[in-house]
Structure formats: structure tokens, C-alpha cells
Amino acid sequence: MQIFKDISLVAFDCDGVMFDSSKANQTYYNTLLKNFDLPPMDEKDFHYVHMHTSATAIDYLFEGRVDLEKVREKQKNFHYPDLFPLMIEEPHLRKVLKILQTDFKTAVATNRSNTLRPLLDHFDLTKHFDMLITSMDVVRAKPWPDMLENLISYFGIGPENLIYIGDSPLDAQSASAAGCHFIGYGPKDLGAEVHITSLAGLPELLQPIK
């Protein structure tokens, strides 16, 4: 079993790691599509939008089909918190965060935008993180390394002291570009140093700076 030593910060992606948000995101984008009499997403469409920022997803789904300004107006009027009950929290997330907080700083780095904090507040998880960073906080979202580099700078650590847990190629590319450690959650084709299918054993993989 590989052990990551000298870790001071543990950062998580949100969708696909902390939460199974598949049903919520499908409902969100399919509702927008239905508003413009467009068919629902197919599997390829969903795979793409689930990884990317909302702005990129909207461009992907609607550009050349509908006036994008009209779509963005619909977005403004969509009450996303209505979808929070469709989000499924990772079974071991809460317990693992409490354990990690003893020895490590914790953060979220996600391509979500202004829905992250309301989501964490809804599940009473915000208090378990030392920093939240979204696509709205950087010029370039994942797969660029900007979010992780911001975390490294904010906490005054080296990239080797940061471990990032993600579930998509965008997460893997971001971690690689930032020079930090990467644990793949779920899919085994991410080129991660370690792959896990549950957060339960995460604390056993990490050793803090002595």
C-alpha cells in the first residue's frame, strides 16, 4: 500500500467524490434543454457536462441551437437548491473529514461555481473545510492547475505537500500540471498514483509533516 508522506493539505473535488450528483445534474441540464424544446442529453453529453464548468456545459449543449443569452437568463431563474435532495453524500465523507482535520488542512477545488457553498451549507459540511475554491475564483478552471496552485500559495506549502482527490481526467490533468499528488476516486483509467472506490481508507494513506 502506497503511503503519501509529508502531506499538509487534502483537497477534494466535489461532484463524483464528495457527492454522487448524477441525478441532480441530469435534472438540471435536461430541464434547461426542455425549456427550449430540445431533447435530453445522451450519455456522451452528460459525461462531458458533468466534468466541466456550467458555462462550458451550456456552450456545449446550446451553442448554435439557441440564443445563449436566453439560456443564461433561464439559469438565473433556476433555483438550484431544489436539486440538493437529489445529491447523495459519499457514505464515509463526514467521518473521514473529522479524522483528517486532526492532522491536515482540508479544501475543496471544484469546477462548480456559486452552488458549492450553498450545497455544503445544506449538508452542514462547510465547517469541515479550511478553504473552498471554485471556477469563479480563477481565470482558468480545471484542467488548468490554477485552483490547486492557488491552494498551494494560500497555505504556503509545496506542491508535494498537497494531495488532490478527483474522479475525472480534468482532475488528473490539473493535479499533474500543479505538480501535486493525485488519488483517483472511482475510475481506474485516470493515471493516478492510487485509485480508491471509497473514502473510508483515505486517512490510512496519508502521513502529515513531522
Q: Would the pLDDT of 127 be above 90? A: yes
Strands (E), 16-136: 19-20, 88-89, 105-109, 131-133
Rounded CA-CA distance 199/185 in Å is: 8
Specify whether the CB–CB gap between 43 and 26 falls below 8 A.
Answer: no
Q: Would the pLDDT of 189 be above 90? A: no
**pLDDT tens digits for range 2-19:** 899 999 999 999 999 999
Neighbours of 195 (CB within 10 A): 14
Q: How many structural domains comprise the chain?
A: 2
CATH code: domain of residue 111: 3.40.50.1000
Q: Which of 71, 23, 32 is nearest to 50 (CA)?
A: 23
Instruction: Record the pTM.
Output: 0.92
* Stretch 58-72: mean pLDDT: 93
Q: What is the pLDDT of residue 2?
A: 87
Q: Does residue 136 sit in the same domain as residue 157? A: yes
Q: What is the pLDDT of residue 105?
A: 98
* Stretch 67-93: mean pLDDT: 94
For the chain, give me the number of helices (H) and strands (E)?
8, 10
Q: What is the pLDDT of residue 51?
A: 86
Range of the domain at 112: 4-20+88-208
